[in-house]
Structure 1
């Protein structure tokens, strides 16, 4: 702890600082261009999906988590899939990367709280950051794996389709 503050100030800084950091990062990430989060399609992910789904039971509880991106103008809601066309699925995949990166960035803010917190409060703040962000990271990865698999099926189906001239 570099700054020695009265307990009331420490509690106030934590109570205001944590949500402000989370929301500030969420707002900043919604303003970043989507191209930052675009990547080539991932390799087969069936094993990763089933492992993640079984290990964390993400499907059972993911609906309980809020979708923070929809709180900001221009944010892309990932609460439900609004279309099955490939362009929407690709956008959804990109947005899961954006969401995951935002939550990793939020976790990285933990050391800021070390400036004014005693050791026991550092543990509380790191625990809070983990509880707030790790479930969201798991959801983003779970959804991304599922939608990448759907896109791979779509690519496979249409790459093996006969050319139009062959359809008489």
Structure 2
């Protein structure tokens, strides 16, 4: 339900600014979370049997064909862990990479959450477009993290 009515110009400016704020704030928040938060096997980060160690994502979405084109958000932050390639093949390296895929996945799940707020100052159609944007932007990144983590878990077992 649109509560605030703005001109088209200001609506676009605010939409861009608010998305930028949420993307950055959620990214910084997740970067500050200690690694221990991601050591668990929470329901949202667990790789399930039906995912076939991540291979389901390759079968459904051909992840290998496009995952290399995605931007790694870690390049924006000094503390970020780049996930474009493995940092090593030792057990500790693989466990660290898997943990960082959980951090990235949580970041992208949380980045979808603010989308309904855009209904407050946008017409309903645009509000729905913001939800579509949030899902369309974040889902490929979530799928990539699950695909990579499934493969790493298979390597570790």
Report the TM-score when normalising by structure 1.
Answer: 0.84
Q: Which residue of 2 aligns with 1:79?
A: 84
Q: Which residue of 2 aligns with 1:6?
A: 7
The structure-2 alpha-carbon separation of the partners of 1:10 and 1:4, relative to structure 1 and needing over 3 Å to count, comes to same
| SS of match in other structure, 1:123 | helix
- Map 1:25-104; keep pairs closer than 5 Å: 25-39=26-40, 47-104=52-109
When the two chains are superposed, the root-mean-square deviation of aligned CA atoms in Å is 1.8
Q: Which residue of 1 aligns with 2:111?
A: 106
| SS of match in other structure, 1:114 | helix
Greater C-alpha radius of gyration: 1
CA contact (8 A) 2:23 2:111 kept: yes
Q: Which residue of 2 aligns with 1:132?
A: 137
**CA–CA distance in structure 2, aligned partners of residues 80 and 50 of structure 1:** 18
Name stretches of at least 5 consecutive residues in structure 2 with no aligned partner: none
CA contact (8 A) 1:62 1:139 kept: yes
Q: Which residue of 2 aligns with 1:17?
A: 18
Runs of 4+ in structure 1 deviating by more than 6 angstroms, as ranges, are none
**Count of equivalent residues:** 152
